[in-house]
Amino acid sequence: MPDLRIPYGYHLPHYVAATITTEGAMLLDTRKKGTWFAVNPPGAHLLTELLDGATLDLAVQSIADHYCADRADVWIDMSKLTADLCDRGLLLQPALGRPTW
């Protein structure tokens, strides 16, 4: 039976396989012949936070705290990474609203 739940946070599409560790992440896009994408440790931290349901703002704060980095700099880098992953179809954005059925 198909999974009819609708994801409300960031999530990976069904064609992306991911391995995420504290040392980084590897994303495999299985469309066509398959393409690997490597993500550095802060990017892996971002993915972990977003896939666990955090907003981008909360994920950025967590990364800034963890790395003792300037929040504004982290925001710039992580918002660019998030946009790039979404543009490539490797990460799907949260749904804008709940179904009304």
Residue 97 lies in a domain: no
Residue 72 lies in a domain: yes
Residue 5 lies in a domain: no
Residue 21 lies in a domain: yes
CA distance 64 to 35: 30
Pair 65, 50: CB distance under 8 Å: no
* Mean pLDDT computed over 30-52: 94
Average pLDDT, the chain: 89
Grade residue 54 by pLDDT with cuts at 50, 70 and 90.
Answer: very high
Counted domains in the chain: 1
Residue 27: which domain range? 16-87
Grade residue 82 by pLDDT with cuts at 50, 70 and 90.
Answer: very high
Residue 6 lies in a domain: no
